[in-house]
Amino acid sequence: METTIRSKGLTKAYGEHTVVDRLDLDIEVGEVFGLLGPNGAGKTTTILMLLGLVEPTKGSIKVLGLDPRHYPLEVKRKVGYLPDAVGFYDSMTGRENLRFTARLNGLDDSEDEIDSLLDLVGLDEAGDQPSGEYSRGMKQRLGVADALVKGPSVLILDEPTTAIDPEGVVEMLNLIRRLAKDEGVTVLLASHLLHQVQAVCDRVAIFVKGKVVAQGTPHDLAKVEEGGQVRVEFRLGGDPAKGRADLESLGTVSDVAAGRVPGSWVAELDAGSLAPTVSGLVSKGADVIGVTRLDEDLETIYRRYFEIHEEAAV
């Protein structure tokens, strides 16, 4: 696979404070790559270094085969960027803002393109309103259109969904997937919202306090972390205490703990023993409402790393 964004030992320190610590990235063409981490983890700084807007302290970067320090314009010509808390010129309409970006990219005749982009992000009707009147969510959607105006081969999105309503989020995530699948655009998505990253990304790097603590597909990450053991949530009807007793009596599960709702139990078990466990429960007369595997959920890993690193910091 061809590599689009690659960094090695990428480090940024402000004085004593290291914001990004020896980051290695390898993002392939057409991939949706998630940088998942809490606020202040160094995601934005990493992005700014990829764009050549912040000088790395150490390490090397290649974006589309070019070092952004040497060829910033060539890189910026091909990389669309949606900044966190994106802003627009309030007195200009959404369309005028896009037109300005197009001109800065040397594209003079881009009206059709702008029309279809406004349509794509659902701002076809609001396109001629001053952007000062837009809601935060609308600005964010305009920001996506703005990043796409130049026809980029790489799209870097910094917290693209924070101010968007749930319905809009689904649309946005679908759009991101479509751009990657159909247009072959490589997407780097930085977010602290786990479920969205998990829903849309091919690969994820979990980024905490400037360091990548885990990297891989959501599936791989889960496997590596759990080592054959899976965590399953059983939702059982009837008396919760009886449900728990039934579950434990089967002998296939360990570490039974209360789940998210009353009557649901989270347990660890061998991946191969899931079917026998379920049939065992049924044969004991338990009312099985639902069975959910939790281990593919990044949340567990994310939480764990979070906790470990919070502790380390204290």
Partner 1 sequence: MTAVTGDVGAEEVPAAESLRVGGWRTVASKEIADHLLSGRFVVLMGVLGIATAAAVFAASGGIRDVAPNAQGITALFLKLFTVTADPVPFPLIVFVGFLAPLLGIMFGFDAVSGERSQGTLPRLLSQPIHRDEVILGKFVAGLTVVAIMLTSLVLFVSGIGILRLGVVPTPTEISRLAVWLVFAIIYVGFWQALATLSSVLAKRASTSAMIPIGVWLVLTLFGSFIFGAIASVLSPQDGTQTAEVAYLRTVQSVSQLSPVTLFQQGSSVLLDPEVRTVGLVTVEQVDRAIVTELNLTQSLAVVWPQIAILVALTSVMFALAYVAFMRDEVRA
Residue 190 or 206: which CB sits closer to partner 1? Answer: 190
Q: Which of 221, 217, 174 is nearest to 196 (CA)?
A: 174
* Interface residue with partner 1, options 66, 120, 288, 291 (CB under 8 A): 66
Provide CB contacts within 8 A for 64, sequence distance 6+.
Answer: 4, 5, 75, 78, 79, 153, 154
Q: Name the segment binding partner 1 (CB under 8 A); options: 27-35, 53-61, 287-295, 305-313.
A: 53-61
Task: State yes or no: residue 74 binds partner 1 (CB under 8 A).
Answer: yes
Task: State yes or no: residue 203 binds partner 1 (CB under 8 A).
Answer: no
* Interface residue with partner 1, options 8, 22, 242, 304 (CB under 8 A): 8
Task: State yes or no: residue 187 binds partner 1 (CB under 8 A).
Answer: no
Residue 46 or 277: which CB sits closer to partner 1? Answer: 46
Task: State yes or no: residue 146 binds partner 1 (CB under 8 A).
Answer: yes
Q: Which of 160, 175, 170, 121 is nearest to 34 (CA)?
A: 160
Positive or negative, the CA dihedral 240, 243, 245, 247 is negative
Residue 19 or 179: which CB sits closer to partner 1? Answer: 19
CB 208 within 8 A of CB 305: yes
- H or E segment and range at residue 202: none
- Pairing assessment for the beta strands 264-270 and 229-236 based on DSSP bridges: antiparallel
Provide CB contacts within 8 A for 211, sequence distance 6+.
Answer: 21, 22, 23
* Interface residue with partner 1, options 13, 71, 240, 284 (CB under 8 A): 71
Task: State yes or no: residue 308 binds partner 1 (CB under 8 A).
Answer: no
CB of 194 to partner 1, least distance (A): 20
Distance of alpha carbon 194 from the chain centroid = 7
# chain residues binding partner 1, by CB under 8 A = 48
What dihedral angle (degrees, nearest 10) is formed by the CA atoms of 182, 183, 187, 191? -50
Task: State yes or no: residue 53 binds partner 1 (CB under 8 A).
Answer: yes
CB 98 within 8 A of CB 144: no
Q: Name the segment binding partner 1 (CB under 8 A); options: 81-89, 162-170, 178-186, 303-311.
A: 81-89
* Interface residue with partner 1, options 27, 35, 36, 86 (CB under 8 A): 86
Residue 131 or 198: which CB sits closer to partner 1? Answer: 131
CA distances from 300 to 52, 256, 260 (A): 34, 16, 14
User: Residues in the site for partner 1, rule: CB under 8 A?
Assistant: 6-9, 19, 42-45, 48, 51, 53-55, 59-62, 65-67, 70-74, 76-77, 79, 81, 83, 85-92, 100-101, 103-106, 143, 146, 150
